[in-house]
Amino acid sequence: MATGQRKLGDLISIGPAMLRDFQMLGIRTVAGLAQRDPQRMYEKLGRLLGRRQDPCVLDTFCAAVAQARNPRLPAEQCQWWWWSKKRKQAASGD
């Protein structure tokens, strides 16, 4: 399936709450999502909502952006928890 044909809700790990977050961030398409930086999205959402978001939101943003950029992303990397493990490893210096 080409990037232009996929919808944000078609992405793995993306449900109604995340779709609302995307809307709040002005993200309407998979192509638009592919241009975004997950860390900046996470920080902006926190500012918009007036509170720090759970780090799992960042992990989900990472999974979504990776899928938007690569429609053939390995299935494991489409899951938010894969990115959570990667974030935690980076934080611990491994």
Q: What share of the chain is helix, strand, coil (3-state, %, to 5)?
A: 70, 0, 30
The domain of 38 spans 9-92
Task: Give domain status of residue 22, yes or no.
Answer: yes
* Structural domain count, the chain: 1
Under the banding of pLDDT at 50, 70 and 90, the label for residue 94 is low
Full-model pTM: 0.91
Q: Does 3 have pLDDT greater than 70?
A: no
Task: Give domain status of residue 78, yes or no.
Answer: yes
Q: How many angstroms separate the CA atoms of 34 and 60, rounded?
A: 14
Amino acid code (one letter) for 72? R
Task: Give domain status of residue 1, yes or no.
Answer: no
* pLDDT tens figures, 8-55: 999 999 999 999 999 999 999 999 999 999 999 999 999 999 999 999
User: What Rg do the C-alpha atoms of the chain give, in angstroms?
Assistant: 13
Q: How many angstroms separate the CA atoms of 84 and 60, rounded?
A: 8
